[in-house]
Structure 1
Amino acid sequence: MEDLLYYSLTIAVCLAAIPILSSLRSAVMVTKKPPPLPLLPPGPPPLLSLVTPLLFLGRTNFAIERVIRAARSRYGPVFTLHLFPSRSAIFIADRAVAHRALRRGAAFADRPPPSVPSRVFSSGGQHSITSGTYGPLWRALRRNLTGGAFHPSRLSRYAGARRRAAAGLADAVAAQMDRDGVVVIEGLLHRAMFNVLVAMCFGEGIADDDDAVVASVEALQREFVTSAIGFQVFGVCPAVTKVLFRRRWKWMLSLRRRQEELFVPLIRASRARRDATPGDSSAVAVDTYVDSLLGLRIPEDGGSVRNLTEGEMVSLCSEFLVAGTDSTAAVVQWIMANLVAQPEIQARLGAEIHRVAAGVRVVHIQEDDLPRMPYLGAVVLEGPRRHPPGHFVLPHAVAATDVVEDGYATLEGFRVPRHASVNFTVAGMGLDEAVWRDARRFRPERFLPGGEGAGVDLTGAKEINMMPFGAGRRICPGMALALLHLEFFVASLVAEFEWLQVAGEPVEFAEKQELSVVMRRPLRASVVRCTRNVSC
């Protein structure tokens, strides 16, 4: 009912506004020449900014990429879309331009001003790594993450959690296979990823019933992931959209409140454990992400420092869990879908895994074996190239330190306003036939010696689209963890089972936009267990 009212009012407003705007425009042209506009990249006229937000922000499945493809073909690889009345959105659809922009120091390292939903879920402002303004606070938060939980030297600390999650995933697959005959893996993947990330974030044994905690965190964060796109309607005319979508507004506030109710007791339990350690609390071992947040001192204006508030830690924990689970689970499912659709790739991968792992069960696969599986590495790199979990990286903006005197920075001969959003169309770059031969085909061989992706450098221009956690702001902090999880869980699933197409049900590769781009119809597969006598 809210949506019907919204669209009825939208159509009425648009129809009423067109003649008024046309007459005003004519009057201005007759009586006075308009002042010169800032030199932005080309694009449709700004007049559309009064209409386009009303047309698509009420929907969660608007095909914005169709608009972007049309603009790309008409205006070139760098263009402007006036999606919001007060802010221009600049899109970069060329890999070389993207590389120059992202590698140009801190020029485009900032974020646009936060929307209303962003303020709700980041403690009233840009107090998270993905939304934070480029400056001392953001650098402190990112340095804490990259030097702690995501540092390659610390990844082995959570190997036990990964083994237990893989064993639980295999058991869940077997149980569903025996019960239903067909396995729908999407939910099982999310549960496995949450098991690992909750352990990394809060630790194991922090609650009386860790399984119940994981289930509660998973349910709440999945609700956030599947509803976040719909909350973006409050980024346009919030005084109006809060009324038109009042149930959705209450739902968003309720979701944030429930995050605090769930995470704050876990944070306080970590603090109590930390405080119970004899001696100087600063010398306590940092075993989890929350441990690092409890000890973090962040800079304030005037040179002072302070601790994070509980609300800020809730936002950072939510960000950590979503970034580490949603995109990774999505890519694993896309990879498995391609293995089901192309059994010859699955057979080659299975042979490599069983050769290296000596045909043992999945729970005994060692992470040290993964570097000796080059075809596995190629499959894992091909997954996010062909099916990036985000078709755009998080929006960037001009950093204040790079703004010139008139309030603009330069990009490819154009001027970019301070708060304009700068967006990179990474999905399109991954399908660029000038770089990737037969780009729409899932073909891991391109990352083996002799292929166009051989020797891939994950910080280079061609590889921007393969970063499961986005790109820019130097190297993506979650890259090493993401690749490890992709390789480990794909290897686990292929070593333990053979994945077959359900009779009469070809794999559908249609997409759906949640927080990540996921399969519109979750993968369904017939599964056969591998044994020592029946190799997959």
Structure 2
Amino acid sequence: MDQAADSYSTSTPPLFLLGSLALAVSLLVLLGHGRGKTRLPPGPPALLFLAKFAALRRSIFDLGPMIVDLHARHGPVISIHLFRTLIFVADRKVAHRALVQGGATFAERPPAVDPTRLFTSGGRDISSSPYGTYWRLLRRNLVTEALSPARVAHFADARRSACDGLVSSLLKEQERQGQEEAVTLRPLLRRAMFELLVFMCFGARLDREALDEVEELLHQALLSFTSFPVFAFFPAVTKRLFRRRWAGYLALRRRQEKVLVPLIHAERAGDDPPCYADSLLAVRMADDVRLTDSEMVSLCSEFINGGTDTTVTLLEWIMAELVNRPDVQAKVYEEVRANPELSDLQGMPYLKAVVMEGLRLHPPGHFLLPHGVQHSGDGDVEIGGYTVPKGAEVNFLVAKIGRDETVWTAAREFRPERFLEGAEGHGVDITGSREIKMMPFGAGRRMCPGYSLGMHHAEYFVARMVRDLEWRPPVEGEAVDMVEKLDFTTVIKHPLRARLFART
């Protein structure tokens, strides 16, 4: 990749310029959004918050602790002001009224800003496209052609092969390190999951060099989503001020398309199951219009990244809990040992309880993707008794809702038994249709369409890793450090390391 592309991830806006931008935007906000005219949710003074945000020079999703603190001060619904009004909801009942009972009111997406707009082909992937005909077409295609149980079943051999390779790689690394040293799980797990999703997307098994390049290209695009959104502030100006960064994004996108377009259009082997790219090539819109190559690149990137990072993050958290809780690990092992071929995951209630508890306590995303609002006529839209102004973003605190002490006993403890028959979590609705007690995949019309695949992969990989390997802490008697850190998802700050022993 050229020098411009390398520079975009390391260059940061000079602090005085960020401060100037924040000041200008705050003045516009203060002039245009007086709290006296409408009953906006409470929140901090715009100028003060913008100054803190500019000093951090990161994404709004880095502000989790600050937002939790604001909720403690102001209540379950708060608002802050940046380039638009941002509303955060921490109450499960308010979330259910908005996302499920509210129908399409909160099913919109805010207009994408760069670089998100660049890497989603102008907001044309499923996650960021506006609520409407195009979005419904793409989502229906994804669910029926790639995520249906019949389609997922076609890839059973690929899942088995991915886990075979993962277990083999872990044991080889343990042998190389020596039995007294620990092995780091994340890179090997991520490669196994990534390779599986690439095969499901393109129907191709790439060599190591090609996989490395595709993985790096998609990861760099993800990192751009969590960088400081400098191009949301006066983009015509900021793209000139930070032209090297913008040139780097453009170069990265060009390289993405150059690498992925041939994979999308490649001829597939006749005996391989139908892949996601094939379904995209067959999509037809009004007047028989096909998807563009750029749109398909964005959709394939979304499919691979969405299925890789969230699942790997969840799996690492679960395996860390199993290292810390050998009694739980032993119960999983006894259950999967009785069905060594793993042909009936539905018949493994304790395994499923472990995955559910991982999703509740350690959701990979502590926030949802932002929701936009559909205003009809002149009527105000409300959430939690407060007015939602036009152009506002609405988000929901997933982790806080799943750790609600009024719903879950010892909510900060890992207790899979809570999801077994007769316990408080048995039969909980993961989709949130009836009520929201946890919402790791969101809820309502914009709920993640890949939730069933994600849960299936999580259950299968946990079963295989526990069936084939015993997991012990790096130092006997010392617990794994469970401190959180935001990457693209909320990961373990210090990647999980464990000593591994092959099961006999």
The 5 A counterparts of 1:7-156 are 7-10=15-18, 37-48=37-48, 51-56=51-56, 58-59=57-58, 63-84=62-83, 87-103=84-100, 104-123=102-121, 125-156=122-153
Once the 2 structures are TM-superposed, how far is the Cα of residue 397 of structure 1 from its aligned partner? 1.1
The 5 A counterparts of 1:412-491 are 412-460=384-432, 461-467=435-441, 470-473=442-445, 475-491=447-463
CA contact (8 A) 1:231 1:248 kept: no
Change (3 A) 1:447 1:13: closer
SS at match of 1:224: helix
SS at match of 2:82: strand
Moved more, 153-162 or 501-510: 501-510
> What do residues 408-445 of structure 1 show as CA deviations (whole Å, max 9, x unaligned)?
32323322123210101111111110011111111111
The whole-number CA distance in structure 1 between the counterparts of 2:214 and 2:12 is 33
Q: Quick check: 1:379 aligned with 2:387?
A: no
The 5 A counterparts of 1:19-418 are 37-48=37-48, 51-56=51-56, 58-59=57-58, 63-84=62-83, 87-103=84-100, 104-123=102-121, 125-181=122-178, 182-204=182-204, 209-230=206-227, 232-242=229-239, 245-270=242-267, 287-299=274-286, 304-357=287-340, 365-366=341-342, 368-399=343-374, 403-406=375-378, 408-418=380-390
CA contact (8 A) 2:126 2:138 kept: yes
Q: Quick check: 1:6 aligned with 2:11?
A: no
The gaps in structure 1 that reach 5 residues or longer are: 29-33, 278-284, 358-364, 532-536
Letter in 2 for 1:438: A
Letter in 1 for 2:439: N
The whole-number CA distance in structure 2 between the counterparts of 1:38 and 1:394 is 26
Change (3 A) 1:456 1:291: same
Partner of 2:4: none
Calculate percent identity across the aligned residue pairs: 47
Once the 2 structures are TM-superposed, how far is the Cα of residue 386 of structure 1 from its aligned partner? 0.8
Change (3 A) 1:68 1:231: closer
Change (3 A) 1:342 1:241: farther
The whole-number CA distance in structure 2 between the counterparts of 1:293 and 1:416 is 36
Change (3 A) 1:435 1:129: same
SS at match of 1:423: strand
CA contact (8 A) 1:117 1:231 kept: no
Residue from 510, 514, 518 that aligns with 2:491: 518
SS at match of 2:387: strand
CA contact (8 A) 2:155 2:273 kept: no
Letter in 2 for 1:114: A
SS at match of 1:147: helix
> What do residues 57-108 of structure 1 show as CA deviations (whole Å, max 9, x unaligned)?
x236985122212221222111211132xx1111111001101111121110
SS at match of 1:91: strand
Aligned length: 485
CA contact (8 A) 1:393 1:426 kept: yes
CA contact (8 A) 1:391 1:425 kept: yes
Residue from 507, 516, 529 that aligns with 2:480: 507
CA contact (8 A) 2:431 2:439 kept: no
> What do residues 366-393 of structure 1 show as CA deviations (whole Å, max 9, x unaligned)?
3x22112111000001112111110011
Letter in 1 for 2:385: G
Letter in 2 for 1:80: S
Once the 2 structures are TM-superposed, how far is the Cα of residue 458 of structure 1 from its aligned partner? 1.2
Once the 2 structures are TM-superposed, how far is the Cα of residue 241 of structure 1 from its aligned partner? 4.2
The whole-number CA distance in structure 2 between the counterparts of 1:168 and 1:157 is 19
SS at match of 1:465: coil
The whole-number CA distance in structure 2 between the counterparts of 1:251 and 1:452 is 50
Once the 2 structures are TM-superposed, how far is the Cα of residue 253 of structure 1 from its aligned partner? 2.2
Once the 2 structures are TM-superposed, how far is the Cα of residue 251 of structure 1 from its aligned partner? 2.9
Once the 2 structures are TM-superposed, how far is the Cα of residue 355 of structure 1 from its aligned partner? 2.3
SS at match of 2:85: strand
Once the 2 structures are TM-superposed, how far is the Cα of residue 8 of structure 1 from its aligned partner? 4.1
The whole-number CA distance in structure 1 between the counterparts of 2:233 and 2:479 is 40
Change (3 A) 1:62 1:7: farther
Residue from 470, 474, 486 that aligns with 1:498: 470
CA contact (8 A) 2:13 2:242 kept: no
Once the 2 structures are TM-superposed, how far is the Cα of residue 48 of structure 1 from its aligned partner? 4.5
Once the 2 structures are TM-superposed, how far is the Cα of residue 49 of structure 1 from its aligned partner? 6.4
CA contact (8 A) 2:58 2:228 kept: no
What TM-score comes out, normalization by structure 2 length?
0.89
Once the 2 structures are TM-superposed, how far is the Cα of residue 235 of structure 1 from its aligned partner? 2.5
Change (3 A) 1:9 1:211: closer
What's the C-alpha RMSD, in Å, of the aligned pairs? Answer: 2.9
Partner of 2:3: none
Moved more, 146-155 or 212-221: 212-221
SS at match of 2:266: helix
What TM-score comes out, normalization by structure 1 length?
0.84
The gaps in structure 2 that reach 5 residues or longer are: 1-6
The whole-number CA distance in structure 2 between the counterparts of 1:60 and 1:13 is 15
Change (3 A) 1:101 1:305: farther
